[in-house]
Structure 1
């Protein structure tokens, strides 16, 4: 029937085309355990439907365009919320060094987390497209608000509002990417998104000092508002709705078609053998359909369900570990980003403001390294191991690459602390390189955590992304208030040694997650699979 997620025009032809029988039971494996390869061919997971309006059937160039637009949105979201560091002293001087000026730096992370908690359930109810468009528009208006603010209180309020929208770069954008791409390419696509955000943000953070020197800090917001407005216009014409109802077994790579409660055929798709688009039972994708903001009435029950699922998913041992490791990595990065400018601007290094901005160039380098190593490398590793396991891929394979960023995080944290405590004995490169290393570890852990979680529980992508982003945002907010006291009490060396120990201990719990992850996923399936079916 037309309203189903998967439909077939001719049952017999469909079975013959895919060379499958209907004896394969649905959900025989734990969520996240899939057959990725068969006879040397990559199986498309989730199984795309014959519907031309299925987001998985979007043309590849449009998918790349969507990824780029989401990446640009993320660049300016992160820049305007977290990129004030190089110009903070200038802004603070404008407000006569009012101690409350620090709220301009600390509150955005809190409101980004709140933004995720509000927007993701809303996206489940009304769709991804309207929430993303609203976020781009609010980011534009909020930036104009800050540029035109007449008082510190107004400036803080404007940053809080735009941060609510900027939070969608952390959860909603990865969700959209997950919904338009297949499992075998997910790591590389998320790596491109993360690298685009990181490289763009680093480059513009470097340029921030020069923009403010030439035009003043208000025009820094002006640039962000213009760019966000352009993103809104591009997204309106290019980014369609990515939400699409799928049967649960589509995430196994085999979609069973039922009629009157009985299975009648099985649909499978590979890269070389796609499911033919059916223009008889489904409508073609048109420009008017793409530009439509709301698709159908709002499903507010879905928003409530999303909130309920967040409470369930945080109790999954493997997801709790991912959230905790993300939070630890962010905490260490927050401490380093808060302290590095103080260390390098003081004797014996005495870096200038422009030189401090150039330190961000290291983030460009490590972001470029992340794409082939953790992005394409993660996808290739998954396919290689699946090839040697009769085509079966476990989502825990995605955790193997996390070893690199974890090891880097521990080592460079120790180096950063020692160099900061003994600046006359260490080169400034020890600070700049270890600072970039901490950033590489943070974005690497985020990337692998996203990919593992989305592969493990594809039907719980939204609540899991909210958990990861919101909790680490709240932790970041808490850390930002305690960094100065923590470092003052422990010293740089003691503080970062403690950070390295905590990172090592939390990372060590990844071993039982890796070994017993399939059993964890099997046990939690009743809370993570909706058992939706496709009716013929």
Structure 2
């Protein structure tokens, strides 16, 4: 890859060591002359700076935000396992059953078919609502802070879960789930923003891998729990469980999660080197220490207060409209498509699994739920490969590049997912088609989780000051793809069969993920050239959005 150490001093965008970097597009110095890791962004001397929080507390915040994200898809997709029970309860329509002659009449079959079509909207619309809601939530989080958006949206989310549990009509249930998903969607974008707020560049890959695993695990965990509960509980009990989990998380957010957005003073700093014994890696780090007096540490009440003053001078409208030109940036576009197909195809798996495993393997509802254990394990395995491995790959390339980091340096880690994810889709399609042992089609999700984590953190590295808007463009596109795939999945499988449909998905996934190779080679030139496009200039950010990388 044609990276050169001297490039750092040939661009006006990259500053000398004693100047704060502005619009670097991810081109930053991450190691000093001795090979010691530098802190990027460099923390202030303010004890209230989230970058100065203890490592244990940072990890706790990351786990809390990922738990909140898990409940989004836990609620959205979980009840799909008991779709038939919902149709029976809400519409009074029963599936055709030879033991019940009345259910075999044309009118009964038509009523059941209509009920299933309507019930499917209970799940497809939630994805769209969650994704689209970030057009509102992210501008508010950028302007007024993450904490207030998290607390308000999840409180409303939890109350809507109770509404869903108590709904007695289709209209009420549909409205409750759409509104609940609108409020829950805040976690999809604010979670990676929070991770970027509190972790340094060299730590970001492993933490963003947790985000992608939580995003994918929620649906699988919800389906597993919903299926297990169907043995002795109704679908309403599952919604009460969602309410309990969401409201408990809201309480933890309110009492234990301070504001993570921080306004940095980018002037008046000097550089010094210290040894940080708290870092697991035990590396030397460079930090900027403000020349002004160090502020006192805030009390618990002050830390848990909501932000009253705006965090940026940018207007809500400018922040809300930025995802449109941002999506035109090739790194964001590639990452967005990778994100979209990863989650979208996972939705197809969820849409077809109940039918496939019941017809081919004669699985009951709760047994179909147990199938998702493999998906959960696969997503968890994606954390070390999409996180620690990608950080190791990027840090190794940084050392070879004289200590200068480029965002593309972590992309070779995609090579594992490039083969693993399409391979898992082939196992599913061919396994179902040829009626192999049931364990064969369950080996999915590992590659998807790893690819999503790497692609998301890559775009955050490229455009860190507008990380929120970047993730909005990805999440909104993902929600649209998911919605469309939920409609066309079953007709596609009916037309081409499991082998044909999933072979096509595997091929498409491989081609998209393989694009990391040209992006790795020419990504730096592409980033700089496209950032100067006239339409992309609408996405340029104000100086008060700079974070120091």
1:437-456 to structure 2, matched below 5 A, reads: 439-456=445-462
**Partner Cα separation in structure 1 for residue 274 and residue 481 of structure 2:** 42
Aligned to 2:426: 414
Q: Using a 3 Å threshold, how does the CA distance of structure 1 residues 325 and 368 change in structure 2: closer, same or farther?
A: closer
Q: Distance in 2 between matches of 1:196 and 1:503?
A: 21
- Which of 38, 41, 45 does residue 36 from structure 2 map onto? 41
Shift of 1:44: 0.7
Residues 296-342 of structure 1: per-residue CA shift (max 9 Å, x gap):
15868442222232122111111111111222222322222211221
Q: Take 1:27 and 1:71, find their aligned partners in 2: how far apart are those partners? A: 30
Match of 1:351 in 2: 363
Over 3 Å counting, the alpha-carbon distance change for 1:200 and 1:479 in structure 2 is closer
CA distance in 2, matches of 1:428, 1:483: 21
| TM-score normalised over the length of structure 1 | 0.85
Q: Does the aligned pair in 1 maintain the 2:211–2:453 contact within 8 Å?
A: no
Report what 1:86 is aligned to. 81
Q: Look up the SS of the partner of 2:307 in the other structure.
A: coil
Q: Could you tell me how far apart the structure 2 residues matched to 1:232 and 1:443 are?
A: 26
- RMSD value over aligned CA atoms? 2.6
Cα deviation digits, residues 252-297 of structure 1 (max 9, x gap): xxx6x35xxxxx8557777545455889352422212211123315
Task: State the number of aligned residues.
Answer: 494
Distance 1:181 1:301 in 2: 24
Distance 1:320 1:131, change over 3 A: same
Match of 2:53 in 1: 58
Choose from 179, 183, 193 the match for 1:165. 183
1:306 paired with 2:319, answer yes
Aligned to 1:492: 498
Residue in structure 2 matched with residue 13 of structure 1 by the alignment: none
1:246 to partner: Cα distance:
3.5
Post-superposition CA distance 1:67-119 (Å, at most 9, x none): 12112212222111111122222112112242422211211011011112221
Q: Is the 8 A contact 2:131 2:475 kept in 1?
A: yes
Structure-2 residue corresponding to 1:8: none
Q: Give runs of aligned pairs for residues 59-78 of structure 1, distance below 5 A.
A: 59-78=54-73
- What is the TM-score of this pair, normalised by structure 2? 0.84
Partner of 2:161: 143
Shift of 1:422: 2.6
Correspondence for 2:351: 338
With over 3 angstroms needed to count, the CA separation of the structure-2 counterparts of 1:394 and 1:359, relative to structure 1, is same
**Would you say the 8 A contact 1:37–1:383 is kept in 2?**
no
Correspondence 1:35-434 to 2 at 5 A: 35-38=29-32, 39-95=34-90, 96-97=92-93, 98=115, 99-196=117-214, 202-246=220-264, 257=267, 265=270, 271=276, 272-273=284-285, 274-275=287-288, 280-297=293-310, 301-347=314-360, 349-423=361-435, 426-433=436-443
In 2, the alpha carbon distance for the partners of 1:315 and 1:463 equals 13
CA distance in 1, matches of 2:141, 2:291: 28
Q: Per-residue deviation at 1:198? A: 5.1
- Contact 2:386 2:449 survives alignment (8 Å): no
Check the 8 A contact 2:227/2:369 in 1, yes or no.
yes
CA contact (8 A) 2:192 2:208 kept: yes
Q: Distance in 1 between matches of 2:372 and 2:392?
A: 30
Is residue 510 from structure 1 mapped to residue 516 from structure 2 by the alignment? yes
Task: In structure 1, list runs of 5 or more residues that go unmatched.
Answer: 1-20, 248-254, 259-263
CA shift, 1:361, in A, is 0.8
CA distance 1:207–1:123, shift in 2 (3 Å): same
Cα deviation, residue 356, structure 1: 0.9
Q: 1:22 deviation in Å?
A: 7.0
Q: CA deviation at 1:413?
A: 2.1
Specify whether residues 366 and 477 from structure 1 end up closer, same or farther in structure 2 by C-alpha distance, changes over 3 A only: same
Q: How big is the shift at 1:245?
A: 2.3
**Unpaired segments ≥5 residues, structure 2:** 1-14, 94-114, 277-283
SS at 2:133 equivalent: helix
Task: Note closer, same or farther for the CA distance 1:366–1:23 as it changes in structure 2 (3 Å cut).
Answer: closer
Provide the C-alpha distance between the structure 1 equivalents of 2:45 and 2:503, rounded to a whole number of angstroms. 55
Bigger relative CO (Cα 8 Å, ≥ 6 apart)? 1
Q: Distance in 1 between matches of 2:391 and 2:223?
A: 31
Distance (Å, rounded) in 2 between the aligned partners of 1:432 and 1:453:
31
Kindly tell me: are residues 386 and 127 of structure 1, through their superposed partners in 2, closer, same or farther at Cα, counting changes over 3 Å? Answer: same
User: Could you tell me how far 1:448 is from its partner in structure 2?
Assistant: 0.7
**Partners of 2:542 and 2:184 in 1: how far apart?**
31
2:209–2:382 CA contact under 8 A, matched in 1: yes
